[in-house]
Amino acid sequence: MLNSFRQSMAWLHTWFGMVLGFVLMAAFFFGALSVFDREIDRWSNPATRFEPQPMPSYDKVLRPAFERMQPTKDAVDAMRPRVNGDMPQRLDTVVSWSAYTTHRDPVLALYAGYEVPNAKDPEEAIWAYGTIDPRDGRVLSNDQLKIGSEFFYPMHYSLTLDWKNLGFWIVGFSALVMLAALVSGVVMHRKIFREFFTFRPDKARLRSVLDLHNLTGVVALPFHFFFAFTGLVIFAGTYYFPVGHTQLHDLHELHAQIEANETGLPHERAGVPAGLASVDDMVAEAQRRWQAKDKAGDVGFLVLQHVGDANGYVSVYRAGTDRIALVGDGIHFKASTGELIREDPPASAVGRVSEFLTGLHLQHFRHWLLRWLYVLGGLAGAVCIATGFVFFVEKRKRQHAQQGSQGARIVDALAVTTVTGMVLAALGILVANRLLPETLPGRGDFERYAFWGTWALAFVHAGLRSAPVAQGRANPAWREQCWAIAMLAVGAVALNWITTGDHLLKTLSAGYWPVAGVDLFLLFGATVAAMTARKLTKNAAIAQPRIDTEPAHV
């Protein structure tokens, strides 16, 4: 579009990067937090602070828990318009019962799907969700929001905007722009290898901001590219390019028929009642078979399909803690007799690539160092985007001040909101989690309000304090919100101590890393924020450094 390819790429990098950077910031930051989502769950649900548990006995723990499950009143009401006639009092034709756990979960997630009589779409099931303590089957309230896995994690890929899957589309488009920004960023900088080793913190501010932008972008370039790309691939078939459910639906159906014939796993109920053989024996048999192939034998996912019917079957899937690839190694048994129906064959070449790519993104493996590297990669991405904002503003604000334009001021206020404001929002939900009464009805909703409320306050604050930017000076909101981060983070650690008694000396000496790790990370964040605030205060006191622009940026 512009005079040269390089200039077009610079235009793309600057403008798409600035607009979608606000979303990417959230994707990177909450992605980094999601690496330790289960640990954040422990911090936010003190009743679940115990060691991870294996899949419990079906006969002793799971069956009674499944039998008690029913969809919530909200779920039943939501289903009403899609049914001819009334909803039944109790749903008892079970499509599937399933239980899911990982090597980091003390608690067990249960899912129950039921057939809906007279549903307009006969394929549609109604679902019930539950969480239990696998040691005794005790039901944990759904009001206890799992802040890591039920809030920060969805924030990472959908911003929790579920309406029409809008959030998925926004984040997905931003991921595409991330890829385009990486390619265009490389095109803009011919001396990319040198930038690997270039960081001049003492040079003029603009130069050091750009150095940090390039450094965090280039050092972690494969990481950024890989995660943006695999993130798109993971959701492509479901949300972004659902060809198998739309245009190529008939091909998909053809495949489903072939597959059902090949696997011998019935797609429909037979309509003939049947009993259930011992599921515990089936699980033991599955574990024996994995062991024979030298694979770790923890059960990750247990599914009972068509419960109570002659076509019922039980699928046992392995928790792939011993490899990067996201594997299932499913073994399937006939429910009524316990005889083996099928053992999933080894994946095809394409299947192995797919399992590896999704597994590397979703991290079901057991490797703590690798986990921390993911956090560092995610935070490097966040720093890269934040410094991109700062560079955008610093480069323009003096010129805008002379022209009387408000552009730099607005972008800067939005940058404050997305960088420090987002951290404040994340701390806001943690603090609210410790302050709200444990048994408050709808507790999880109030925690969410605290998150969005804190973020909105940060936005208002950033806007109110933004006037100096229009005169070519810095927005004091940056340092003020850094102080607020430091205080809220220390406050969260203190509140955890006061409300649960689990202070750092106790959790560290007991080696209970989920809670100790979150506390230490909060204190580390508080230290970085306080140091940043001090540095910004000092900067504000001295004269503006001279502006040193780079011709590659237009």
Partner 1 sequence: MSGTTAASASSIAPRLRIASRVCAAVLGGYAFAWGLVALTTALLFAAQLDFHDAEFSGAVIGLVGYLVVFLWAIAARRLAVVWSVLLVGGAAMAVAASLVQSMLV
Q: Which stretch binds partner 1 (CB under 8 A): 236-244, 265-273, 420-428, 440-448?
A: 236-244
DSSP conformation letters of 171-194: HHHHHHHHHHHHHHHHHH-TTHHH
Residue 253 CB, shortest distance to partner 1, in Å, is 8
Residue 251 CB, shortest distance to partner 1, in Å, is 5
Please report, for residues 12, 247, 384, 386, 549, the alpha-carbon distance to residue 215 in angstroms, rounded to integers and kept in the order given. Answer: 20, 43, 8, 13, 17
Cα gap 161→158, rounded to integer Å:
6
Residue 240 CB, shortest distance to partner 1, in Å, is 8
For 125, phi then psi, to 5°, come to -110, 160
Cα gap 319→301, rounded to integer Å:
7
Q: What residues contact 257, with CB distance under 8 A and at least 6 apart?
A: none
Q: Which stretch binds partner 1 (CB under 8 A): 34-42, 226-234, 471-479, 487-495?
A: 226-234
Assess 263 for contact with partner 1 (CB under 8 A): no
- Closest CB to partner 1 among residues 14, 44: 14
Taking CB under 8 A as the rule, which mask of x and - marks residues 431-470 in contact with partner 1? Answer: ----------------------------------------
Residue 22 CB, shortest distance to partner 1, in Å, is 17
CA-based nearest residue to 386, from 295, 482, 526: 482
Assess 11 for contact with partner 1 (CB under 8 A): yes
Residues 374 and 35: beta-carbon distance below 8 Å: yes
- Closest CB to partner 1 among residues 244, 330: 244
Residues 303-362 that bind partner 1 (CB under 8 A): 348, 350-351, 353-354
**Position among 95, 206, 209, 232 found at the interface with partner 1 (CB under 8 A):** 232
Assess 251 for contact with partner 1 (CB under 8 A): yes
Assess 109 for contact with partner 1 (CB under 8 A): no
- Closest CB to partner 1 among residues 237, 273: 237
Residue 110 CB, shortest distance to partner 1, in Å, is 27
Please report, for residues 306, 315, 341, 448, the alpha-carbon distance to residue 337 in angstroms, rounded to integers and kept in the order given. Answer: 14, 14, 10, 47
For β-strands 139-140 and 299-305, DSSP reports them as unpaired
Instruction: Name the strand (E) or helix (H) holding 96.
Output: strand 94-100
Residues 386-425 that bind partner 1 (CB under 8 A): 396, 399
Assess 552 for contact with partner 1 (CB under 8 A): no
Helix count (H) and strand count (E) of the chain?
18, 8
Assess 264 for contact with partner 1 (CB under 8 A): no
Torsion (CA) 544, 545, 551, 552 in degrees, nearest 10:
-90
Residue 226 CB, shortest distance to partner 1, in Å, is 13
Taking CB under 8 A as the rule, which mask of x and - marks residues 484-513 in contact with partner 1? Answer: ------------------------------
- Closest CB to partner 1 among residues 143, 344: 344
Residue 187 CB, shortest distance to partner 1, in Å, is 9
CB-side exposure of 518: number of CA atoms within 13 Å?
32
Write the Ramachandran bin of 19: left for phi over 0, alpha for psi from -120 to 50, otherwise beta: alpha
Residues 151-190 that bind partner 1 (CB under 8 A): 173, 176, 179-180, 183-184
CA-based nearest residue to 383, from 9, 32, 12: 32
Assess 237 for contact with partner 1 (CB under 8 A): yes
Residues 290 and 329: beta-carbon distance below 8 Å: yes
For 94, phi then psi, to 5°, come to -85, 120
**Position among 236, 260, 505, 531 found at the interface with partner 1 (CB under 8 A):** 236
Assess 5 for contact with partner 1 (CB under 8 A): yes
Q: Give me 353's structure tokens.
A: 């690539």
Assess 72 for contact with partner 1 (CB under 8 A): no
SS (H, E, C) 407-445: HHHHHHHHHHHHHHHHHHHHHHHHHHHHHCCCCCCCHHH
- Closest CB to partner 1 among residues 11, 111: 11
Q: Which residues bind partner 1 (CB under 8 A)?
A: 1, 5, 8-12, 14, 173, 176, 179-180, 183-184, 229, 232-233, 236-237, 240-241, 243-244, 247-248, 250-255, 348, 350-351, 353-354, 396, 399, 554
